[in-house]
Structure 1
Amino acid sequence: MAPLRISFLIRSVYDLLPSNANLVRWGKKDDPTCPLYQGRQTTEHVLSSCKVVLSQGRYPWRHNRVLQGLACVISTAKGEIHPSSTSSTVFTTEVESKNGTEGRSQ
Protein backbone atom coordinates (compact mmCIF):
# COMPACT_ATOMS: atom_id res chain seq x y z
CA MET A 1 0.00 0.00 0.00
CA ALA A 2 1.29 3.46 -0.88
CA PRO A 3 2.70 5.52 2.02
CA LEU A 4 0.20 8.36 1.43
CA ARG A 5 -2.71 5.95 1.67
CA ILE A 6 -1.37 4.45 4.88
CA SER A 7 -0.86 7.93 6.30
CA PHE A 8 -4.43 8.89 5.36
CA LEU A 9 -5.85 5.74 6.95
CA ILE A 10 -3.93 6.21 10.18
CA ARG A 11 -4.81 9.90 10.43
CA SER A 12 -8.48 9.20 9.73
CA VAL A 13 -8.65 6.49 12.42
CA TYR A 14 -7.06 8.78 15.02
CA ASP A 15 -9.07 11.85 13.91
CA LEU A 16 -5.98 13.73 12.78
CA LEU A 17 -7.16 14.87 9.35
CA PRO A 18 -7.51 18.62 8.79
CA SER A 19 -11.27 18.90 9.33
CA ASN A 20 -12.52 22.34 10.34
CA ALA A 21 -13.00 21.12 13.93
CA ASN A 22 -9.36 19.98 14.09
CA LEU A 23 -8.10 23.15 12.42
CA VAL A 24 -9.85 25.17 15.14
CA ARG A 25 -8.38 22.89 17.81
CA TRP A 26 -4.91 23.39 16.29
CA GLY A 27 -5.33 27.19 16.17
CA LYS A 28 -5.33 27.33 12.34
CA LYS A 29 -8.95 28.37 11.83
CA ASP A 30 -11.71 30.16 13.72
CA ASP A 31 -14.83 28.36 12.48
CA PRO A 32 -15.44 24.59 13.00
CA THR A 33 -18.61 24.41 10.90
CA CYS A 34 -19.17 22.52 7.67
CA PRO A 35 -19.63 24.95 4.77
CA LEU A 36 -22.43 22.75 3.37
CA TYR A 37 -24.33 21.72 6.50
CA GLN A 38 -23.43 24.40 9.06
CA GLY A 39 -22.89 21.71 11.71
CA ARG A 40 -19.53 20.85 13.28
CA GLN A 41 -17.17 19.46 10.63
CA THR A 42 -15.30 16.49 12.10
CA THR A 43 -13.39 13.77 10.26
CA GLU A 44 -16.39 11.43 10.54
CA HIS A 45 -18.66 14.18 9.23
CA VAL A 46 -16.47 14.75 6.17
CA LEU A 47 -15.93 11.09 5.34
CA SER A 48 -19.40 9.67 5.88
CA SER A 49 -22.07 11.65 7.66
CA CYS A 50 -22.63 15.14 6.21
CA LYS A 51 -26.40 15.33 5.76
CA VAL A 52 -26.15 17.54 2.69
CA VAL A 53 -23.69 15.22 0.98
CA LEU A 54 -25.84 12.21 1.92
CA SER A 55 -28.97 13.86 0.49
CA GLN A 56 -27.16 14.68 -2.76
CA GLY A 57 -25.89 11.11 -3.21
CA ARG A 58 -22.22 12.08 -3.22
CA TYR A 59 -21.02 9.20 -1.02
CA PRO A 60 -22.53 6.50 -3.28
CA TRP A 61 -21.17 8.38 -6.31
CA ARG A 62 -17.66 8.39 -4.83
CA HIS A 63 -17.99 4.72 -3.88
CA ASN A 64 -19.18 3.80 -7.37
CA ARG A 65 -16.37 5.79 -9.02
CA VAL A 66 -13.79 3.88 -7.00
CA LEU A 67 -15.36 0.55 -7.95
CA GLN A 68 -15.56 1.61 -11.60
CA GLY A 69 -11.89 2.55 -11.55
CA LEU A 70 -10.90 -0.73 -9.90
CA ALA A 71 -12.91 -2.73 -12.44
CA CYS A 72 -11.19 -0.88 -15.26
CA VAL A 73 -7.71 -1.44 -13.82
CA ILE A 74 -8.43 -5.15 -13.24
CA SER A 75 -9.82 -5.56 -16.77
CA THR A 76 -6.76 -3.85 -18.21
CA ALA A 77 -4.43 -6.08 -16.17
CA LYS A 78 -6.27 -9.14 -17.44
CA GLY A 79 -5.86 -7.90 -21.01
CA GLU A 80 -9.57 -7.29 -21.47
CA ILE A 81 -10.99 -4.16 -23.01
CA HIS A 82 -13.26 -2.49 -20.49
CA PRO A 83 -16.04 -0.17 -21.75
CA SER A 84 -14.65 2.68 -19.68
CA SER A 85 -10.98 1.86 -20.24
CA THR A 86 -10.33 5.49 -21.10
CA SER A 87 -11.31 6.39 -17.53
CA SER A 88 -8.51 4.31 -15.96
CA THR A 89 -6.02 7.09 -16.62
CA VAL A 90 -8.47 9.63 -15.27
CA PHE A 91 -9.10 7.44 -12.21
CA THR A 92 -5.39 7.01 -11.49
CA THR A 93 -4.78 10.74 -11.91
CA GLU A 94 -7.75 11.59 -9.66
CA VAL A 95 -6.55 9.25 -6.90
CA GLU A 96 -2.96 10.53 -7.08
CA SER A 97 -4.22 14.12 -7.10
CA LYS A 98 -6.50 13.57 -4.13
CA ASN A 99 -3.78 11.77 -2.18
CA GLY A 100 -1.54 14.75 -2.73
CA THR A 101 -4.24 17.02 -1.28
CA GLU A 102 -5.08 15.07 1.87
CA GLY A 103 -7.20 12.59 -0.07
CA ARG A 104 -10.27 14.68 0.50
CA SER A 105 -13.17 14.22 -1.84
CA GLN A 106 -16.78 15.20 -1.50
Structure 2
Amino acid sequence: MAPLRISFLIRSVYDLLPSNANLVHWGKKADPTCLLCHGRQTTEHVLSSCKVALSQGRYTWRHNRVLQELASVISTAKGQSNLPSPSLTIFTTESGAKKRAAGRLR
Protein backbone atom coordinates (compact mmCIF):
# COMPACT_ATOMS: atom_id res chain seq x y z
CA MET A 1 0.00 0.00 0.00
CA ALA A 2 1.28 3.46 -0.86
CA PRO A 3 2.70 5.47 2.07
CA LEU A 4 0.21 8.31 1.54
CA ARG A 5 -2.72 5.88 1.80
CA ILE A 6 -1.34 4.41 5.00
CA SER A 7 -0.83 7.91 6.39
CA PHE A 8 -4.42 8.84 5.52
CA LEU A 9 -5.78 5.70 7.16
CA ILE A 10 -3.82 6.22 10.37
CA ARG A 11 -4.67 9.92 10.56
CA SER A 12 -8.37 9.23 9.95
CA VAL A 13 -8.51 6.54 12.67
CA TYR A 14 -6.93 8.89 15.21
CA ASP A 15 -8.94 11.94 14.03
CA LEU A 16 -5.84 13.82 12.93
CA LEU A 17 -7.03 14.91 9.48
CA PRO A 18 -7.36 18.65 8.87
CA SER A 19 -11.13 18.90 9.25
CA ASN A 20 -12.46 22.36 10.07
CA ALA A 21 -13.08 21.29 13.69
CA ASN A 22 -9.46 20.13 14.04
CA LEU A 23 -8.13 23.27 12.35
CA VAL A 24 -10.05 25.38 14.89
CA HIS A 25 -8.69 23.20 17.72
CA TRP A 26 -5.15 23.63 16.37
CA GLY A 27 -5.60 27.43 16.10
CA LYS A 28 -5.36 27.45 12.28
CA LYS A 29 -8.95 28.43 11.53
CA ALA A 30 -11.77 30.31 13.26
CA ASP A 31 -14.85 28.48 11.96
CA PRO A 32 -15.55 24.69 12.30
CA THR A 33 -18.54 24.83 9.94
CA CYS A 34 -19.03 22.42 7.01
CA LEU A 35 -19.29 24.37 3.77
CA LEU A 36 -22.01 22.05 2.43
CA CYS A 37 -24.45 21.67 5.34
CA HIS A 38 -23.22 24.27 7.84
CA GLY A 39 -22.89 21.64 10.60
CA ARG A 40 -19.71 21.02 12.59
CA GLN A 41 -17.13 19.55 10.19
CA THR A 42 -15.33 16.70 11.96
CA THR A 43 -13.43 13.84 10.32
CA GLU A 44 -16.44 11.55 10.81
CA HIS A 45 -18.72 14.20 9.32
CA VAL A 46 -16.56 14.54 6.20
CA LEU A 47 -16.10 10.81 5.65
CA SER A 48 -19.63 9.57 6.29
CA SER A 49 -22.28 11.78 7.82
CA CYS A 50 -22.78 15.08 5.96
CA LYS A 51 -26.45 15.04 4.98
CA VAL A 52 -25.89 17.27 1.93
CA ALA A 53 -23.07 15.08 0.59
CA LEU A 54 -25.25 12.03 1.20
CA SER A 55 -28.23 13.54 -0.65
CA GLN A 56 -25.98 14.49 -3.60
CA GLY A 57 -24.69 10.92 -3.94
CA ARG A 58 -21.10 11.76 -3.01
CA TYR A 59 -20.73 8.83 -0.59
CA THR A 60 -22.34 6.41 -3.04
CA TRP A 61 -19.91 7.50 -5.74
CA ARG A 62 -16.92 7.08 -3.41
CA HIS A 63 -18.22 3.70 -2.21
CA ASN A 64 -18.66 2.48 -5.79
CA ARG A 65 -15.17 3.63 -6.76
CA VAL A 66 -13.70 1.63 -3.86
CA LEU A 67 -15.65 -1.46 -4.96
CA GLN A 68 -14.45 -1.01 -8.55
CA GLU A 69 -10.85 -0.79 -7.36
CA LEU A 70 -11.27 -3.95 -5.26
CA ALA A 71 -12.84 -5.79 -8.21
CA SER A 72 -9.93 -4.74 -10.40
CA VAL A 73 -7.29 -5.90 -7.92
CA ILE A 74 -9.04 -9.24 -7.36
CA SER A 75 -9.48 -9.85 -11.10
CA THR A 76 -5.83 -9.02 -11.74
CA ALA A 77 -4.75 -11.38 -8.96
CA LYS A 78 -6.89 -14.14 -10.46
CA GLY A 79 -5.41 -13.51 -13.91
CA GLN A 80 -8.65 -12.25 -15.45
CA SER A 81 -8.75 -9.26 -17.71
CA ASN A 82 -12.45 -9.13 -18.61
CA LEU A 83 -13.52 -6.48 -16.12
CA PRO A 84 -16.82 -4.61 -16.38
CA SER A 85 -16.70 -1.19 -18.00
CA PRO A 86 -15.54 1.47 -15.50
CA SER A 87 -18.50 3.65 -16.51
CA LEU A 88 -21.07 1.04 -15.42
CA THR A 89 -20.68 -1.64 -12.78
CA ILE A 90 -23.37 -3.94 -11.41
CA PHE A 91 -23.22 -4.66 -7.68
CA THR A 92 -25.37 -7.02 -5.66
CA THR A 93 -26.92 -5.49 -2.55
CA GLU A 94 -27.13 -7.22 0.82
CA SER A 95 -30.67 -8.36 -0.01
CA GLY A 96 -29.47 -9.89 -3.30
CA ALA A 97 -30.94 -7.24 -5.60
CA LYS A 98 -28.81 -6.10 -8.54
CA LYS A 99 -27.90 -2.40 -8.72
CA ARG A 100 -26.17 -0.50 -11.47
CA ALA A 101 -23.64 2.08 -10.39
CA ALA A 102 -22.18 4.77 -12.58
CA GLY A 103 -18.44 5.23 -12.33
CA ARG A 104 -18.63 8.99 -12.07
CA LEU A 105 -20.49 11.61 -10.07
CA ARG A 106 -23.54 12.94 -11.89
Instruction: Settle same-fold status: TM greater than 0.5.
Output: yes
Report the secondary structure of 1:38's partner residue: coil
CA RMSD of aligned residues (A): 1.9
Larger radius of gyration: 2
Where in structure 1 do 4 or more consecutive aligned residues deviate above 4 Å?
Answer: none
Aligned residues: 86
User: Structure 1 or 2: larger strand share?
Assistant: 2
Task: Report the TM-score when normalising by structure 1.
Answer: 0.70
Distance in 2, Cα, partners of 1:75 & 1:16: 34
Q: Does the 8 A contact of 1:72 with 1:85 survive in 2?
A: no
Which letter does structure 2 place at the counterpart of 1:25?
A: H
CA shift, 1:81, in A, is 2.3
Higher relative contact order (CA 8 A, sep 6+): 1
- TM-score with structure 2 setting the length: 0.70
Q: Counting helix residues as a fraction of each chain, which structure ranks higher?
A: 1
Structure 1: gaps (5+ residues): 87-106
Can you list the C-alpha shifts for 1:24-46, whole angstroms capped at 9, x where unaligned? 11111111100001011000000
Distance in 1 (CA, whole Å) between partners of 2:7 and 2:81 is 33
- Runs of 5+ unmatched residues, structure 2: 88-106
Matches within 5 A, 1:39-58: 39-58=39-58
